[in-house]
Structure 1
Amino acid sequence: MTTPASTRVLTEDELDLLELALGGGTGIVPGCVPGAPGGVVDDVTLTDAENTPIAVVGAAGVHALRPLARAAGPHWDPTSRRTADDVRAALGDAAGAPGTVAVVVDDVPTRVEAEALRGLVADARHVLLLVPAARRAPGSGRLGAPGLVRAVRSLVAAVHAPEGGDAPGPEAVEVVVVPWPRTAPDGLRWSDVGGRYGAHRTVVLAEHRDARTNARLTALDDLWSDEVAALYPAGCAREVARAARGAHAPGAVVFFTGLSGSGKSTLARALAAELDDEGLRATLLDGDEVRQHLSRGLGFDRASRELNVERIGYVAALVASHGGVAVAAPIAPFASGRARVRELAEGAGAFLLVHVSTPLEVCEARDRKGLYAKARRGEIDEFTGISSPYEEPTDADIVIDTSRTSVDHAVAQVREKLLAHLEAAAG
């Protein structure tokens, strides 16, 4: 007898693990249910937090239904965020052969590790600098994946020319971003993952940090500004400083509004990652995720939608009142609901309203879940833009059409405006 089919909404850590598995980086797949034959329920549909089906896992393995949603930032750069299958194929005959070394850089390298790196790859022909990148934000004041990627890229030149350039460096040095859950499951080992990416040998760079350096790092709270410059190479020092910046900044709410499929969630996630990377303690309140938790059971009539938006505004204001930055991304179709959020937020800190004005026809073409098509057929009542109105904001601080503006440029616009608001609030 087979176990009945089911659906499972994956956490951010599980999404990282799924992306790694689909790319050939590991054989461990989320969605397994203990107690079932082989540990797997037949045909479990895996979805993201927006309930978009992205893969099916069963006794026969896992296969993708559609690409996972992507965000912005250096840790999402497609030239670095390559699958294990792609990296191994590019290495060709060198994959798995002596001379191909993977170096895992899971913490900002100090000068000690930067020097050790030269010796670790002295005999390598190909060097893969594997940088773990988690969807889940790090703790306050800790460097996130964007800053870590930038820091590792700043070391590439030194790897190419070890020992002052007297000895020839490796033929190729590549920074490879690896999806990696912040809480890794049992059995997920860097040695195995490095081999799947084509390395003959895998080392973890942080394991070559000496006790004296660890003691100095522990003392950074007291010796911070001078010690950062002494401990880290210049490029790495800048990223550590960025992560700690804004520890005492005032709070704020960034409120994205727009049609389903306009790009709100993508922009909000990318902005939250950038803010976390700068130590601004961002909290993401995505519309679909809030519906699953804070507003479960609410309908989609006007009163229910207004209540959902007010709940988001209330939580966002609480975050801002404690010095954090709340990044919210509901549809929020009605001006009255947005006005209430503004009132709550401005009582707690700075407020920034971002209208994602992507045209309806573009949103329909992007629809990953087929909701617009169902609404057109009358299968979904009260669907914004089709059978329920969207009242365009007249008081937006920024208006962005994602069919004309790239994610990176849009996030830069919002970030610049937000920092200006925070500076004004602090002054």
Structure 2
Amino acid sequence: MSSLPVGDGEDLAEVAGIARVVLDADGLDALELALGGGLPGLPSWIEIGAGEERVLTDSENTPVAHLRSDRGGQHALRPLQAMPHGAGPQWDPVIRRSANDIRASVQDAAGERRVLAVVVDDLPTLTDVGQAVDAIQTADFVAVLWVVPSGRSSRRPDAVGSAGLARAARAVGELVAEQTGLPVIPLVVPMPDRDVGGIEDVLSRYGSAETLRLRDLRSTETVERLAALPTAFEREVRAIYPEASAAELLAAHERSGPSGTVVFFTGLSGSGKSTIARALADDLTDRGSRVTLLDGDDIRQHLSAELGFDVASRERNIDRIAYVASLVAAHGGIALAAPIAPFAVGRAAARTMIEAHGTFLLVFVDTPLEVCEMRDRKGLYAEARAGRIADFTGINSPYEAPEDADVVIETVTTGVADAVERIREALFLRIGRASEGV
């Protein structure tokens, strides 16, 4: 299996002075497609003018690609660092493969026969399996791409999310392979919400000659039964109980849900806070929770853009994050906050504010300064060492390691998946105690 090429430290040094463009989740999806051959180039909403060049970054301002346009408007795109990714089965490299890789593998086997792409953008039903098998067997296909479109912003807290869909689709694909005798290749494609062309065009670059959506094969009866599912509980309750009892049970059911909770991460820049927080958000969303992610860099861009990095500004920034997180907790949601939060007094004030509305869990992402400097994907430590950034935590501004952390993650010895598991267990234990009044 091939992977996308990435640049090295010399590439980053070469582009250090070039203007940057921060990509949102859709932009990163489009970039992943373009670098892997799923798009002929970047969409118009990322394009630059003739003769210009830009460094493309993720939301944390980490350089991921270099885009150059010549005077004739021809674009050249090259990767600088590995694309940022999350956790969960939709990020498994076995099924999240590039268009170039898939096309090369299926074309070798296809010859003159065709490859079918089946888009699985909803949980497959039992009748879907039969319909898919019939559709596949009506033509002379040599292989099937079993495609789950999953963009970085594809979070649906009121339905099965990308992780659950990827798991279910992969298992159902194995059933289809058994019944058709054809290779069914599970595949996650990072389709953005914004327009990059039809999915048929994208999948043709993966090697498919024809595309169909699994949900388009559904009978009217199946569609109607699925549409009735959200009200099935209420119908059964009203059928079983008298009106007064049913009203009480339905009201209690509506009130039920997770306690309002804030997981507050702290650690040096580059410690891994955001990576772990995003992975935890994906994990909790996959389990049905409504999660709000308050990343430190995003807050700095949108809520605290006018603040500096002196002590007073840092405390004001943490106060704002804590206030927003407390609002989420007050409404029964789960907020994940991932600022640096270098000072104990600021973290203590955040705890006090949030615990008035819900549960507070402090997570210290403990990564040695030298390791953070070695990672330095944004080049910030080098800038601070050179004296070009003032008040940079760990270099010319202190970081006060917390002594009251509820969870300590030593990233040198703990991977992201293990970190998520430890935090989740501590979170559920804390929520359980809170609900019991302990």
Shorter-chain TM-score tier:
0.7 to 0.9
**Structure 2 match to 1:127:** 144
Q: CA 1:177–1:218 in 2, change beyond 3 Å: closer, same or farther?
A: same
Deviations 1:41-88 (A, max 9, x none): 732332221122322333332322222212211111111111111112
Task: Output one character per residue of 1:1-41: Cα deviation in whole Å (capped at 9) or x when no partner.
Answer: xxxx853222212211121111111225146478x87xx67
| SS, match of residue 421 in structure 1 | helix
Q: Which runs of 5+ in 1 are unaligned?
A: 163-167, 228-243
1:155 lines up with 2:167 in the alignment: no
Match of 1:367 among 369, 376, 381: 376
SS in 2 for 1:107: coil
Gaps of 5+ in 2: 1-17, 237-252
After superposition, the C-alpha distances for 1:159-178 in whole angstroms (9 at most, x for unaligned) are 1221xxxxx611x2221111
Matching residue of 2:102: 87
Counterparts of 1:372 and 1:268 in 2: how far apart (Å)? 22
How far off is 1:391 after superposition? 0.7
Counterpart of 2:390? Answer: 381
Residue 116 in structure 1 maps to residue 127 in structure 2: no
Aligned to 2:87: 72
Deviation of 1:278 after TM superposition, in Å, equals 2.0
* Aligned residue in 2 for 1:22: 35
Moved more, 408-417 or 133-142: 133-142
Alignment check: 8 A CA contact 1:137 1:276 kept? no
What is residue 321 of structure 1 aligned with on the other side?
330
Q: Distance in 2 between matches of 1:296 and 1:347?
A: 27
Amino acid at match of 2:308: G
Q: Classify 1:137/1:325 alpha carbon distance in 2 versus 1 (closer, same or farther; 3 Å).
A: farther
SS in 2 for 1:125: strand
Aligned equivalent of 1:189: 198
**SS of the counterpart of 2:395?**
coil
* Residue 55 of structure 2 corresponds to residue 45 of structure 1: yes
Counterpart in the other structure of 1:403: 412
Distance 1:52 1:161, change over 3 A: same
Matched residues in 2 for 1:245 and 1:205: separation?
A: 33
Q: Name the SS of the counterpart of 2:141 in structure 1.
A: coil
User: Aligned-pair RMSD on alpha carbons?
Assistant: 2.4
For residue 412 of structure 1, what is the aligned residue in structure 2? Answer: 421
Count of paired positions? 396
Counterpart in the other structure of 2:119: 104
The answer to whether the 8 A contact 2:294-2:337 is kept is yes
What SS does the aligned partner of 2:345 have?
helix
Cα distance, 1:247 vs structure 2 = 7.0
Structure index of larger Rg: 2
1:197-212 equivalent positions in 2, closer than 5 A:
197-212=206-221
Partners of 1:103 and 1:245 in 2: CA distance: 37
**Which amino acid in structure 2 is aligned with residue 261 of structure 1?**
G
Which of 182, 188, 191 matches 1:180? 191
Q: Percent identity at matched positions?
A: 50
Shift of 1:423: 2.4
Residue identity matched to 1:421: R
Q: Which amino acid aligns with 2:181?
A: G
Structure 2 CA distance for aligned equivalents of residues 223 and 348 of structure 1: 33
Q: Which stretch shows the higher mean deviation, 47-56 or 306-315?
A: 47-56
Quickly say closer, same or farther: Cα 1:425–1:213, change in 2 above 3 A: farther
2:276 is the alignment partner of 1:267: yes
In 2, Cα distance between equivalents of 1:127 and 1:245: 42
Q: Residues 309 and 114 from structure 1, CA distance in 2 versus in 1: closer, same or farther, beyond 3 angstroms?
A: same
SS, match of residue 155 in structure 1: helix
Deviation at 1:395, TM superposition (A): 1.0
> 1:138 — aligned with what?
155
What's the counterpart of residue 4 of structure 2?
none
Deviation at 1:256, TM superposition (A): 0.9
For 1:128 and 1:192, locate their aligned partners in 2 and report how far apart those are by CA, in whole Å.
14
Indicate the SS of the match to 1:154: helix
1:246 Cα offset (Å) = 11
Q: 1:293 aligns with which of 302, 311, 317?
A: 302
Distance 1:352 1:284 in 2: 14
Contact 1:317–1:348 under 8 Å retained in 2: yes
The 3 A distance-change label for structure 1 pair 305 and 13 is: same
> Once structures 1 and 2 are overlaid, which stretch shifts more, 405-414 or 49-58?
49-58
Q: Tell me the residue number matched to 2:264.
A: 255
Answering whether residue 186 of structure 2 is matched by residue 169 of structure 1, we say no
Change (3 A) 1:403 1:246: farther
Match of 1:358 among 352, 358, 367: 367
Task: Determine if contact 2:278/2:293 at 8 Å carries over to the other structure.
Answer: yes
Partner of 2:26: 13
- Mapped partners of 2:230, 2:63: distance in 1: 45
Q: CA, structure 1 residues 379+267, in 2 after alignment: closer, same or farther (shift >3 Å)?
A: same
CA–CA distance in structure 2, aligned partners of residues 87 and 262 of structure 1: 35
In 1, Cα distance between equivalents of 2:219 and 2:326: 44
> For the Cα contact (< 8 Å) 2:110–2:143, is it kept in 1?
no
Distance 1:48 1:349 in 2: 32
**Structure 1 length normalisation: TM-score?**
0.87
Q: Which residue of 2 aligns with 1:233?
A: none
